[in-house]
Amino acid sequence: MLAIGAQGGLTESDLASWIFGSFFLGGLATLSFSLLYRQPLVFFWTIPGSVLVGPALGHLSFPEIIGAFIASAVLMLVLGLSGWVRRCTEAAPMPIVMAMVAGVFLRFGLNLVFSMRDDFWVAAPMVLAFVFLSYSKKAGQLLPPVLGALLAGAIAVWALGRFQAPATLFAFAAPNLHVPVFSWQAMIELVVPLAITVLVVQNGQGFAVLTAAGHKPPMNAIAAACGGISIITACMGAVSTCLTGPVNAIISSAGEKHRHYTGALLVGLLAIAFGLMSPFFTRLLLATPPAFIAALGGLAMLRVLQTAFTVSFGSGKFVLGALVTFLVTVADVPIFSIGAAFWGLVFGFLISWLLERKDFAR
């Protein structure tokens, strides 16, 4: 979030409001659904959807992007209430969708490399900590690699005297309320990609890991909830809400199945507390060097980027369409002032429809 906000020129209060909306309301949704269905149903924000916002902030105003957030939320709400979610998600070729995700995530991997070039003594300890904790299974179980990288970077920043503490560090949340602006340019560029990243990419992961653990998540109710909650979070400047895959996977990976939901309840309470202190965490991280945030973002996205490439080009289906989608998205050339992520999906789907018809037949 901080890397995207820095790229788009958002203010500190806008970033804190975004974090508040994502964590506080996501925590409330997690508590409500986990208690209602007695399953681990953790709601947070869509990471690929957030990444889509970065380039869009270069040519769209923040109120226009918030208008797109609301429009995509209404679309998700309608799909959830109508029961069409499964049909729509099955119609989207996953390799093409994930190629778009890989294209928008690639800049985070590149920023990780650039952080090593620009601020070696901050970024290098973070990379070394990440590699060591990923290599050592015992150490990685005690301390997750990304968290270890964060701690190593924080120690490096402190030792080098690079932490620029603000006058006031601690504060409780005071979310901004934004008035949306609805423009056709933002609607065309963001609404469909945002809805796809939530319903297909993020919720699809969540459904898969929970089903594999023996749970039966209510697909349509979750989609409707993501839409309804996203309307509220959008007014605070936060990207769309989704059912998270990784957190639900961690919660459902151990213990008795009928008690998994209690782990989700604890996550929900912690998310609410984190959201209430969002200005503190925002100021804390913004006081660090840019390379710290760039390296941390790159390391956090590394596995996700790997998964996106594997799904895009490792299945043997829609490979040419996925490649076209990836290239168009990475090129980042807007057409009719509409961002490249949208056109990547359009051109990739058309190429597959023309040249890979056998994959659609399968």
Rounded to an integer, what is the distance from CA 116 to the centroid of its chain?
A: 24
For 358, counting Cβ atoms within 10 Å of its Cβ (0-12 exposed, 13-18 middle, 19+ buried), the class is exposed
Torsion angle of C-alpha atoms 241, 235, 265, 43, degrees rounded to 10: 0
Instruction: Give the tens place of pLDDT for each residue, 268-309.
Output: 999 999 999 999 999 988 888 989 988 988 898 888 788 889
Instruction: Check whether 146 has a pLDDT greater than 80.
Output: yes
Structural domains counted in the chain? 1
Rounded Cα distance between 245 and 98, Å, is: 15
153: its two tokens: 């970077």
Can you tell me the mean pLDDT for 86-109? 81
CA dist 186 and 204 (Å) reads 25
Average pLDDT over residues 52-80: 91
CA distances (Å), origin 298, targets 112, 116, 168, 249, 306: 5, 11, 29, 22, 12
Name the one residue in this structure whose structure tokens are 């490979």.
319
Q: Which helix (H) or strand (E) holds 348?
A: helix 340-355
DSSP 112-141: HHHHHHH-HHHHHHHHHHHHHHHH-HHHHH
pLDDT of residue 234: 95
- Per the model's pLDDT, the better-predicted residue between 131 and 52 turns out to be 131
Give the three-class secondary structure for 300: helix
How far apart are the C-alpha atoms of 252 and 38, rounded to whole Å? Answer: 12
What confidence score (pLDDT) does residue 113 get? Answer: 95
Residue 212: which pLDDT band, with cuts at 50, 70 and 90? confident
Query: How far is C-alpha 197 from the geometric centre of its chain's CA atoms?
Result: 9
As a whole number, the mean pLDDT across the chain is 89
At 25, list the tokens. 């309301």
What gap in Å lies between CA 244 and CA 203, rounded to an integer?
7
Q: Which pLDDT band holds residue 140 (cuts at 50, 70, 90)?
A: confident
What percent of the chain has pLDDT above 70?
100
- pLDDT computed for residue 127 by the predictor: 96
pLDDT of residue 120: 95
**End-to-end C-alpha distance for the chain, whole angstroms:** 38
Lowest mean pLDDT among 91-105, 126-140, 174-188: 91-105
**225: pLDDT confidence band, cut at 50, 70 and 90?**
very high
Separation CA 166–CA 168 (nearest Å): 5
Residue 24 confidence (pLDDT): 96
Contact 194, 46 (CB under 8 A): yes
Q: Choose among 290, 276, 329, 297: nearest CA to 98.
A: 329
Q: What is the DSSP string of 23-56?
A: IIIHHHHHHHHHHHHTS---EEE-HHHHHHHHHH
pLDDT band at 179 (very low <50, low <70, confident <90, very high): very high
Q: Which of 37-41, 93-97, 288-292 has the lowest mean pLDDT?
A: 93-97
Q: What is the Cα–Cα distance from 308 to 13, expressed in whole angstroms?
A: 32
How far is residue 113's CA from residue 122's CA, in Å, rounded to a whole number?
12
**How does pLDDT run across 308-343, given as a tens digit for each residue?**
898 889 888 899 999 999 999 899 887 876 778 788
Q: Give the domain range for residue 250.
A: 2-361
Question: Among residues of the chain, what percentage have pLDDT more than 90?
Answer: 51
